[in-house]
Structure 1
């Protein structure tokens, strides 16, 4: 396989075999040889100096051209690029490679299938989000209603509970028993010294 880098090949002078003196020989010239673009390598043709595919399919990225070539074909790619101004060609190649990759994965729908699938996911997520927001609002309303009920009961409870407690038979009997106990224990004998 050829090296993908630019090589400098020295061109030897034909005067090697001539009888002229070595002082009159010009210095060795170098000629730059570029390796073919990925497209020309795959198509096994000579890469011309002004190859329309070379700027967009470098020799380091052969898979890029292979993918596009498999779906669109080399002649269609060249035709598309020649019809576009140079400023739009890079974007066109990116689009072709992306569409070709999508067509390989989904031969029927390609990019449209991927977009449709993503749109369905977005719709499902939006529905789930709306449902969660409704549930959250219901929980917040329940919480505020519960807090309002607790506050109302706390305002009413101290007075009612005191009234109920005093009027209850348990409180009155306990109060009477406490009074009787106090009266029973206030006899004069209670205050006599325990030892003398």
Structure 2
């Protein structure tokens, strides 16, 4: 009777040991981290090769712009682009890629002249604009000369008018009204009779000398 021999003390010890021991928590499953997928650059996509971590073309041909590499690859070739970039310092590679892409687009538009045709057109436009600028500058100089000449004439005219007004002689005084009256009043009649008596005296000889002198004096005063 092994099962009945179990004492109450043993049962209490077993119960206390079960209550003291912490419950075992179930192990939570670990969530796997998302795998970082590195998209290859546009050059490696076009060439269908694996894009290495130190790819020379990756910084200049992003994966969202494959046309950029396709254009340069059609004209220069991928090997030539890689070789050319490796010969340059990293500070100049971005400008070199932009130049190659521009020249490749120009060569595809104009297979004969390429970017030289675009440069020729730009130089022609520059020469035309320089001619127009020279004409405009000549017109400005001509207008400035005309304006200065007009101002000089106006100043000369103003100075001349001021000088002539300051050096003009004073006006002559107006003669007495009795010498311009149309009718003979009493004073003029007495003057006429007096001179007639003076001219023709009792002897009948005409003495015109003093009379003409007086008329001459009157005329000078008028």
The bucket for the TM-score relative to the shorter chain is 0.5 to 0.7
Partner of 2:80: 76
**Equivalent residue, structure 2, for 1:118:** 122
Q: Which position in structure 2 is the counterpart of 1:53?
A: 57
Runs of 5+ consecutive residues of structure 1 not aligned to the other structure = 1-22, 167-174, 185-196
What is the RMSD of the two structures over their aligned residues, measured on CA atoms? 3.5
Q: RCO (CA 8 Å, sep 6+): is it higher in 1 or 2?
A: 1
| Secondary structure in structure 1 of the residue aligned to 2:36 | strand
Q: Which residues in structure 2 correspond to 1:114-193 (within 5 Å)?
A: 114-156=118-160, 159=164
Partner deviation per Cα, 1:54-93 (whole Å, 9 max, x = no partner): 2221101112112211211222212222333444332321
Mark the CA change 1:44 to 1:144 in structure 2 (over 3 Å): closer, same or farther: same
2:198 corresponding residue in structure 1:
none
Give the distance between the partners of 1:150 and 1:99, measured in 2 at CA: 62
Cα separation, 1, equivalents of 2:76 and 2:46: 15
Shift in alpha-carbon separation, 1:130–1:42, aligned structure 2, 3 A: same
Pair 1:81–1:157, CA change in 2 (3 A): closer
Query: Bigger shift: 127-136 or 105-114?
Result: 105-114
Higher strand share goes to which structure? Answer: 1
* Unaligned runs of at least 5 residues, structure 2: 1-26, 183-222
Structure 1 or 2, whichever has the larger Rg, is 2
